Amino acid sequence: MEKLEQRIRREGLILSDKVLKVDSFLNHQVDTRLALEIGQEFARIFAGRGITKVLTIEASGIQFAMAAGIALDVPFIYAKKKKAVTLTENLFTSEVVSFTRGETYQVSISQSYLTPQDRVLIVDDFLATGAALVGLVDIVKQSGAELRGVGCVIEKSFQEGRGLLEALGVEVHSLARIASMRPGEVTYVREAEA
């Protein structure tokens, strides 16, 4: 997505060769129009797949899952990272080992909202090691719903996430695929291949 790639180049802060900060428009302050366009792009990519639910993980995937849900005219669900007192019903739960944060946490959703009749699109802001998304894939599997694909806003293609998901047979589409980065320079996958 050209517009997104340009915005990352203009406003992204490269904190190390592995960490990109996009707090001015995606991750903290959110450019609402861009978020809606991202949702439309996911809807275009996954059109005709019969998606009935969009699934993400709190917190930074929420605005993109909501935008995709609006564009596909279906509900979105966000998996919760902590067991809330209101989450009293039966849960689908998976354990995520976060390499970024150096901790292990559980993600859960209520069993009421994902059934074997559902066809699911998983959406998230970043694909890095893939740990968070593998957790969501596991939740979809537990529910008996059918996973129709994963959409990521930014993929750091030099990390192992895509490989991990593809090894599970999951179709992955990312709107900006970063091949490499260093301060002042972002290279996207097709440019690196050219």
Closest to 118 (Cα-Cα) out of 92, 88, 89: 92
Site string for ligand 5GP, 1-40 (x = CB under 6 A): ------------------xxxx----x-------------
- Residue 20 annotated as part of some ligand binding site: yes
Name which of 63 and 129 has its Cβ closer to ligand 5GP: 129
Task: Return all residues near 176 (Cβ < 8 A) that are at least 6 apart.
Answer: 1, 4, 5, 8, 153, 154, 155, 188
**Interaction of residue 127 with ligand 5GP, rule CB under 6 A:** yes
Q: Which residue number, 79 or 132, has a Cβ lying nearer to ligand 5GP? A: 132
CB 183 within 8 A of CB 16: no
**105 is a site residue for ligand 5GP (CB under 6 A):** no
Q: What is the C-alpha separation between 55 and 144, in angstroms, rounded?
A: 14
Q: Under the rule (CB under 6 A), what is the footprint of ligand 5GP? A: 19-22, 27, 60, 99-100, 124-132, 161
